[in-house]
Amino acid sequence: MIFHPIHHTFAPHVDAAYAWAALRLLFKPWKWQKGKETDELRAALTRHFQADSILFASGREALLALLQTMNVGKGDEVVIQSFTCLVVPNAIAASGATPIYADIDPETLNLTPETVERVISNRTKAVICQHTFGIPADTERLRDLCDQYELPIIEDCAHIIPDTEGPKEIGKYGDYLILSFGRDKAISGITGGALVIKNVACHGEPVEPSRGAILRRAQDDTYPFSHVRILRLLLYPILYFIARPFYSLGIGKILLWLAAKAGLLVPIVTKKEKEGQMDTTLHAIPNACAALALTQFRKLQQINDHRRMLTKFYLQACKDREWRVLDGITEDLPIQKFPLFPSPTESPLPAGEGQGERLASRIRTLLKRRNIHISDGWTGCTICPPSAEGMATSILSLPTHPTMSLVQAHTIIDTIAKCQR
């Protein structure tokens, strides 16, 4: 049994400095809703991407705001990939449109021009291109395809924000970028999101300047979170930082259970969202959350370099053990999670259909008994195509977040190797 849990979801960005920053903000309620940090975050994003940036309370709200300003509605379709978080199709449905699911490339877990073209119709209004786990999608070829059909590309960058070292292709060909500052995303403000309006030609014409003005008005018309909700958000990193070291003793688990029962924690995905619904009210990012996200954004290079270090380690470890890895992963990528496929040839389970899924499930269960928690909520979130579904349930997602150490990464690899014997 490992004393300190290895995890995906136990406040993965929260170290002592993050918890201390949240604690300081907790005692400054006058900075919770509005403050200079919101403007500073917006300005920092604008400089970074050399494009106008609009802030919202989440990435899903940023997407909904964009679709609304694009006049996407009833009878329209938006193409997304089948391996994605449920909040993406929820936002499309909230706009009145219908999400259309395209299959994924098994080597990148992303859309391809071929899978997208199969589902384009005269009702298609946009294509959302996701960079799954930080693996870049083929946006250059998707750009060519979308230009043929005069469709805008929306890049979902929730899992990766490029730094000075890249990946250079992310944000280069899309018309819009959606960022998320959720708890386990590229950077974290506990909550928050942004829409970046790129001056990229959509079927030969620049993005309309008026759309930026409309989106800025939408940002100005957002509703603030209540002080109670912001209090609950700020308690999240503090409670998890306290509970995490004692989780294996049961004390931390009880503390978090009591906090949830008392309503002190805000769920990442609400019950309503799990049922496929999304509130159409747009909210402002709380200034307190913008302050946390800004601190992380200023450390983006450090955070990404840490992810690159773990990506490089996992790649070499898989190569040494002859485990399958995706061709789309290179050691220079700041992967948000490292997708590993356990080898059925080393499995103690009988051969047969679904062996990869059964092996992955068995390994997750065995790891959990050792206080290694790699279930990340993505395993069962695919929508329809069989290839996406089979791959999604066979993946072991290995952590690369800022509080994940190289020693812990060694422990995970060694434990997985033992589980396959």
Q: Is 90 exceeded by the pLDDT of residue 9?
A: no
Distance CA 289, CA 37 (A): 9
Q: In this predicted structure, what is the pLDDT of residue 383?
A: 57
pLDDT value at 274 more than 90: no
Q: Is the pLDDT of residue 4 over 90?
A: no
CATH of the domain at 98: 3.40.640.10
User: Taking the CB of residue 410, how many other CB atoms lie within 10 A of it?
Assistant: 12
The predicted structure's pLDDT at residue 204: 45
Query: Is residue 271 included in any domain, yes or no?
Result: no
Only one residue has tokens 């812990």, namely 408
How much is the mean pLDDT over the chain? 89
pLDDT in tens, 222-264: 999 999 999 999 999 999 999 988 887 888 889 999 999 999 9
- The yes-or-no verdict on residue 347 having pLDDT over 50 is no
Position 209 confidence tier, pLDDT thresholds 50, 70, 90: low
Residues 59 and 208 in one domain: yes
Q: Given 220, 242, 272, which residue is the final one in a domain?
A: 220
Q: 71 and 171, same structural domain?
A: yes
Number of domains in the chain: 2
Q: Which residues, including other chains, have CB under 8 Å from residue 122's CB and lie 6 or more apart? A: none
* CATH code assigned at 395: 3.90.1150.10
**For a pLDDT cut of 70, what percent of the chain falls above it?**
90
Q: Per the domain annotation, does 208 fall within a domain?
A: yes
Note the pTM of the prediction, 2 decimals.
0.92
Q: Which of 220, 247, 277 is the C-terminal boundary of a domain? A: 220
Name which of 105, 211, 107 is nearest 154 in CA terms: 211
Tell me if 118 is assigned to some domain.
yes
Whether 386 is in a domain gets the answer yes
Asked if residue 244 lies in contact with residue 184, where contact means CB atoms within 8 angstroms, the answer is no
Same domain, 214 and 313: no
Q: Are residues 96 and 202 in the same domain?
A: yes
Average pLDDT on 13-41 reads 97
pLDDT at 268: 86
Q: Rounded to 5 degrees, what angle do the CA atoms 312, 317, 318 make?
A: 100
Which has the closest alpha carbon to 372: 9, 18, 85? 9
Residues 175 and 313 in one domain: no
Q: Which of 197, 220, 243 is the last residue of a domain?
A: 220
Q: Does 294 reside within a domain? A: no
Same domain assignment for residues 182 and 327: no
Q: 324 and 194 in one domain? A: no
234 assigned to some structural domain: no
In a domain, 273, yes or no: no
Confidence of residue 208 (pLDDT cuts 50, 70, 90): low
Determine the structural domain holding residue 410 and report its residue range: 300-419
The answer on 306 and 191 residing in a single domain is no
Distance CA 352, CA 317 (A): 27
Distance (Å, rounded) from C-alpha 223 to C-alpha 218? 10
**Would you call 53 helix, strand, or coil by DSSP?**
strand
73 belongs to a structural domain = yes
